[in-house]
């Protein structure tokens, strides 16, 4: 995958995620905001902030959440960014960590 292809795939993944998290945020009480290529998710209760951003040099999407860093690679067979260690997609990983932050299962 070249730089432009990664950029296109990462932007599409973050835009899609931002759209779905916007609706879920109203239901679960958090805010998602996509600015300058990074998706920020803010929580009031309990307070917290997650950041989802592309890392072009290594062609990964990085998620900073719950004092951890997750590095996802693009899986062409699934057409999604995936956490190699667990096989979780970006969506599943975020649903999991947001649910942990809020103390309840989350879906979007």
The answer to whether position 90 is within a domain reads yes
Q: What is the pLDDT of residue 108?
A: 85
Output the pLDDT for position 106.
92
Q: What crossing angle do the helices spanning 3-28 and 90-102 adopt, rounded to 10°? A: 30
Is position 106 within any domain?
no
Asked whether 93 and 70 are in contact (CB, 8 A), the reply is: yes
In a domain, 58, yes or no: yes
Beta strand residue intervals within the chain, DSSP E: 30-35, 38-44, 47-55, 60-65, 68-75, 80-82
| Tens digits of residue pLDDT in 37-54 | 999 999 988 899 999 999
Task: Identify whether 56 is part of a domain.
Answer: yes
Q: Is residue 107 in some structural domain?
A: no
Domain count, the chain: 1
CATH assignment of the domain containing 8 = 3.30.920.10
Torsion of CA 50, 54, 60, 65, to 10 degrees: 0
Burial grade of 76 (CB within 10 A; 0-12, 13-18, 19 or more): exposed
Q: Which helix (H) or strand (E) covers residue 83, if one does?
A: none
- Tell me, what's the pLDDT at 93? 96
**The pLDDT of residue 96:** 96
Residue 17 lies in a domain: yes
Write out the residue range of the structural domain in which residue 91 sits. 3-101
pLDDT digits (tens, 9 = 90+) for 44-94: 888 999 999 999 999 999 999 999 999 999 999 999 999 999 999 999 999
pLDDT at residue number 87: 95
Distance of CA 12 to the CA centre of its chain: 12
């Amino acid at each position: 995958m070249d730089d432009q292809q990664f950029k296109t795939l990462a932007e599409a993944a973050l835009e899609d995620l931002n759209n779905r998290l916007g609706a879920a945020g109203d239901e679960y009480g958090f805010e998602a905001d996509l600015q300058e290529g990074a998706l920020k998710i803010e929580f009031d209760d309990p307070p917290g902030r997650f950041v989802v951003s592309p890392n072009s040099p290594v062609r990964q999407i990085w998620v900073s959440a719950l004092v951890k860093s997750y590095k996802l690679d693009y899986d062409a067979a699934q057409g999604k960014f995936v956490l190699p260690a667990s096989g979780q997609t970006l969506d599943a990983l975020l649903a999991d960590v947001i649910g942990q932050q809020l103390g309840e299962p989350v879906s979007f």
